[in-house]
Chains A and B, each alone.
Chain A
Amino acid sequence: MNKLGLIINREYSSRVKKKSFWILTIVVPIIIVGMMFGVMLLSQEETKEVKVLIADPADWCQGEIFQKNQEESNVEFYFYENYLDSFQVFMTDEKFEEFDVMVWLTEKVPTSRKVPVFYKEKLSLKNEHYIQSKVESRLMEYFAMKETNISRQQYNAIKQPFGFKFIDGNDPLGTDYSDEQAGVGFAFAILTYMFIFIYAMQVMKGVIEEKTNRVIEVLISSVKPFQLMMGKILGIGLVGLTQFLVWLLLSGAGLMLIRMFVFTDVTYAENWDVEAMQNGVVQNEFNTQSNDFAFLIFEAIPWTLMLFSFVTYFIGGFLLYSSIFAAIGAMVDSETDTQQLVLPVTMPLILSYVVASMLITNPLSPVGDWFAVIPFTSPVVMMVKVAMGTAGIVQYISSIVLLFATFLGTTWLAAKIYRIGILMYGKKASWREVIKWIRYK
C-alpha cells in the first residue's frame, strides 16, 4: 500500500472502529424509519376487529347490514332482537362481553332521529363514520320502503351518492406534490449541510490533534504534508460516505418492510383514488391521507437522482470545505482559537441553508438559481432544486463542474498553508503570516 493509502486507511479505520460511530450510524435510521412509520400509522386504520351489536327489537335492519366486502373495514355487525332494559345491561352482562359497541335502536328512534351508540373503548373517527353511515343507510332504506311505495331498486337509485371532490384549479390532475417534494428536498439539504459541516470539522479537529500532540513531527519525516492532508480529507470523507450508505441501506430496508407489510396497496395508489372518487366513500378520506404520505415516500421523489446528487454534492462540498478547514486547523494552536476563523467559512453554508428554506415557498427564485451554481452554496441549495425538479440540466452540470474546480483551487491553497502551519506552534497565525506562507516556494 502506498503512503496515501496507509494514511487514508488509518483515518478511516480509526473512526469506523469507534463504538460511537456505529451507535450513531444505527440509531439514526431507526429513528428515521420509526418516525416515518409513526406518521403513516397515525391515521392508518386500526387492524383490531370491532364487533358492533345492533340492538334492534323492531327488526328494522332485518338482521342485515350491507357491507361491500369483509375487507372493507374491520367493523363487523351482529344483531340482537330482544328488548334491552338499559344500556347498562350491554356494559355489564356477560353475554355481551365480546361486543365493543352497541347501536341502540329504541322505539323512539324514528321520531327523535337520535341513535345512541355505546362503546366500551373509544372508537377511531373512521370507525365511527363507518358505523354511522352503514346503519343510517340501512335504516333509511327500511323506512323508505315502509313509508313509500318505491321499490328497493328505485330507492337505491335515488340513494346513490354524489361524489364531491375538491380539486386544485392550478393542478386539475392532482399530481402536484411540490410541497412534499420541497420538504424532502429541504430534508436532504439539511442532511448535506450537516454532513459537510460535521465531517469538515472532523478534518480540522484531526489536524489540530496531530499538531497539538506533535504526532505531526513524527509523521512529517515519513510523508509529505500534502499526502497527509489529502489522506486525512479522503479518509474522513469515506467515513461520511460509509455512514450515509449504512443509513441509506437501513432506512431503505426499513421502508421496504413497511411497504411490504403495512402499505401493500401503495403501488396502486392511483387506482385506489379513482375508485374512491367513483364510490364517494367518504369514510376513507383518512386512509387516503396516510397513503398520500406513503406514496410521496415511495413514488413521488426521484430517489436515484436524489441519492446521486447527494453523494456528488457531499463529496464536492466536503472536499471544498474540508480543505479550508484543514488549513484553519494548521493555522491555529488549539481548538479554542478556531472560532474566529471558522465563522467566516461557515457563513456561506449558513446562507445556503437560508436560501434552501426560501426555495420551499419560492421554488423558481432567481436567487436560488444563483446559489445553486455558486460552489460554496450549491451542495445545499441544489438538493432542494433537484427534489422539486426545478434544476435545468445545464445548471446542474455546471454547478457540479464548478464545485469540483473550486475544490481543486481551495485544496491547492490549503496545502500551501497546511505545510507551513502544521509545524508552527505557540500562537495563532496572523493573516499576514498566512499570506506569506502561501507565497513561499
Chain B
Amino acid sequence: MEILKVENIVKHYAGHTALDNISISTQQGEIFGLLGPNGAGKTSLIRIINQITGPDEGRVLLNGVEITRDDISKIGYLPEERGLYKKMKVGEQALYFARLKGMSKSEAKRKLKVWFDKFDIADWANKKVEELSKGMAQKIQFITTVLHEPKLLILDEPFSGFDPINTDLIKQEILRLKENGTSIMLSTHNMSSVEEICDSIALINNSKLIVSGSLNDVKKQYSSDTYAIQFKGVMMAFANALWTGYELLDKKQLDDNTAIAYIKLKNDNKVNDLLKAVMPSVEIEEIHKVVPSMNDIFMKAVKGEKGGNNE
C-alpha cells in the first residue's frame, strides 16, 4: 500500500530550479532511500513533503489524500541541519519538543524515560546541551523525532555526525521501527547503509529524478553482463584466448601468477562460452557476476553514465 506519493513536484528558487517534475512513491512499511549529491534537491523535496515550503507545481499525497498542515504531526521529521537550544537542559528540551508535537506532559515523560534508558543516556537529562558531544546531541534529536511514534518517519541524513558504533545503533533502531510498521523515508550519502536497510530508492541529480524503484530492480537495471574471473596463469595468454565476443574491461594482478580479469559478454555469449574460451589457457580459480554497489550506481548515475561496470 502506498503511504506517500509525490506527484510532479516543481520548485523554483530565485534563479534556479530546485526540483524539476519529481514523482516518487513509497510503500507502507518500507524504508525508502532518497539519494543524490549535495544540492540535488533532496532537502527541498523533504521540506515540501513536510509542508515547510510549498511547491510551485504538483502535489503530495499522504495515504492517498492531499497532505495538510495537520498531517505533519503524524510525521516524524529529522532535518538535515538540526540543532538544539544550547543552554537548555536535555530532559526539558526533549519534553518541550515532544509537547510541541502534541503529546501530553505525562505521556511524553513516560516515553522519554523509555528511550533515554534504551540509549543509556538517562544521566544526561539534567545536563545542558552545550555540555554534550555532537553524537550525544544527535541521539537526543533522533529520540525527539520518533518519540511520538509517527506512522511515517522522514530522516534527512540520519547518520551524519555519528561514529560507526552509533551509526549501527541508529540503523538497528530504524530497522526495529520498520518491523513495528513504521514507513521510513531517509536521505543519506552513506551508500553502504542504503544497501543494508533500504527497500527502495530514488536518486535525484540536478533537480531531476534519475532512478527510482526497489533496490533490486535498480541494481538489475545497472548491472550488465560483466563477470570477474580469477585465474592462475599469464594475463597475455588469457587475453589472447578471448575472441571478439568478449571485452576485457579491466584487469588486476594479485600476485606473480594470479590475476582477476573483468569481462563483458557480447553478442549473446554465455558464461559457459567464456569459460570454454579461456579454460585451455589458464587455470580458473573463481568466477562471479559483478553486481554494482550502490556506490557505483550513484557515481554512474550522477556522472550521467549507464551500463558497463566493474568493481
Contacts and interface: CB of A to CB of B under 8 A. Distances in A.
B79 to A, nearest CB: 4
Q: Which 10 A-B pairs have the closest CB atoms?
A: A214-B83, A217-B79, A213-B83, A221-B77, A222-B100, A214-B81, A215-B83, A221-B50, A222-B101, A217-B81
Given A7-B100, A213-B83, A217-B81, 5 more contacts: A218-B83, A221-B79, A222-B73, A224-B69, A423-B53
Interface of A: 1, 3, 6-7, 10, 14, 209-210, 213-224, 423, 425, 433, 436, 441
Contact of A221 (B52, B80, B85, B86): B52
A6 B52 contact: no
A214 B160 CA distance: 15
A220 B75 CA distance: 13
B99 interface: yes
Contact of A3 (B50, B81, B100, B144): B100
Contacts of B52: 220-221, 423
A386 B191 CA distance: 70
Contact of B81 (A1, A221, A222, A425): A425
A1 B99 CA distance: 9
Given A14-B85, A223-B100, A423-B53, A218 B14 contact: no
19 contacts: A1-B99, A6-B96, A6-B99, A7-B100, A14-B88, A209-B85, A210-B83, A213-B84, A213-B85, A214-B79, A215-B85, A216-B83, A217-B79, A218-B82, A218-B83, A218-B144, A220-B52, A221-B79, A441-B54
B87 interface: yes
B200 interface: no
A114 B294 CA distance: 114
Contacts of B309: none
A2 to B, nearest CB: 10
B208 interface: no
Contacts of A1: 99
A262 B130 CA distance: 50
B47 interface: yes
A219 B100 contact: yes
A436 B100 contact: no
Contacts of B77: 221
B241 interface: no
A270 B82 CA distance: 68
Contacts of B96: 6, 10
Contacts of A425: 81
Contacts of B182: none
A306 B144 CA distance: 47
B183 interface: no
A213 B86 contact: yes
Contact of B14 (A215, A221, A433): A433
Residue of A7, A215, A423 contacting most chain B CB atoms (<10 Å): A215
B82 A217 contact: yes
Contact of B72 (A6, A209, A210, A222): A222
Contacts of B144: 218
B141 interface: yes
A167 B249 CA distance: 113
Nearest to A214: B83
Interface in B240-264: none
Contacts of A210: 83
B115 interface: no
A30 to B, nearest CB: 27
A209 to B, nearest CB: 8
Contact of A14 (B79, B87, B101, B141): B87
Nearest to B77: A221
B90 to A, nearest CB: 14
B97 interface: yes
A215 B53 CA distance: 17
A229 to B, nearest CB: 15
Contacts of B79: 214, 217-218, 221
Interface string B44-84: 00010010111000000000000001001101010111111
B84 to A, nearest CB: 6
Contacts of A215: 83-85
A436 B72 CA distance: 27
B217 to A, nearest CB: 31
A221 to B, nearest CB: 4
Contacts of A14: 85, 87-88
B195 to A, nearest CB: 28
A425 B82 CA distance: 13
Nearest to A1: B99
A14 B89 CA distance: 10
Contacts of A223: 100
Contacts of A221: 50, 52, 72, 75, 77, 79
A48 B87 CA distance: 53
B85 A6 contact: no
A209 B86 CA distance: 9
